[in-house]
Structure formats: C-alpha cells, structure tokens
C-alpha cells in the first residue's frame, strides 16, 4: 500500500491492506480500481459515489467469454470501503487518490 504513516496509524494501514486484499479474493475478476475525489473525474471515467466527495473509479476486470461485470462489482467494492470508512473515518483522506491493483506474478 502506498499509504502515508503520518496520515494514519499502523493499525489502520494494516486494516486497509487486509480489507483490500480480501476484496480481490472475493472478486477474482477484479484487477484494479481507484478512489478519487468526484471533482477530479471527467465524465468519461466510470465512477460510483462512495462517501462524501469520494467515488470509486477506473474499475478494471479481467473478463472471460460470457462474463459481464455489472454493478455488483462496484457494489461489492463500495460496501467494503464504506465498512472501512465507518470503522476508520480517518482513512477518508488516505483513500482519496489511491489506486489499488491485483498483484500479478
């Protein structure tokens, strides 16, 4: 994670890391997404409102024949991040501008 420890304590960073990793396990087709301030998004970037001015954007999935990533992917990301924000409101500023990607080897 590219989190700044001056913004959040180590326990919060660890919780963010665990939750994001779990999200990628839960959604094997998910390859990445970002969390952006709504004002920074152009109309052509896919986005879903999250909390306050935060939006989920740039959701990327690895599709296979017959698979269509619908709103369920964004809903699952949103639910996980809203739970995180509910438990750690201080993570709001640290999430803004972050891109999360599956590690591929």
> Whole-angstrom Cα distance, residue 100 to residue 58?
10
The pair of structure tokens assigned to 61 is 């999935």
What pLDDT sits at residue 8?
57
| pLDDT reading at 74 higher than 50 | yes
What pLDDT sits at residue 65?
77
Could you read off the pLDDT of 24-59 as tens digits, one per residue?
Answer: 999 988 999 999 888 777 776 667 778 888 888 888
In terms of Cβ atoms closer than 10 Å to its own Cβ (0-12, 13-18, 19+), residue 44 is exposed
- Higher pLDDT, residue 104 or 33: 33
What pLDDT sits at residue 70?
75
């Amino acid at each position: 994670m590219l989190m700044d420890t001056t913004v959040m304590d180590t326990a919060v960073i660890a919780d963010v890391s665990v939750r994001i990793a779990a999200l990628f396990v839960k959604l094997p087709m998910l390859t990445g997404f970002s969390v952006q301030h709504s004002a920074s998004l152009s109309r052509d970037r896919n986005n879903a409102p999250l909390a306050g001015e935060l939006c989920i954007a740039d959701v990327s999935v690895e599709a296979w024949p017959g698979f269509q990533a619908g709103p369920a992917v964004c809903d699952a990301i949103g639910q996980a991040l809203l739970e995180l924000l509910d438990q750690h409101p201080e993570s709001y500023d640290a999430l803004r501008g972050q891109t999360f990607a599956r590690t591929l080897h």
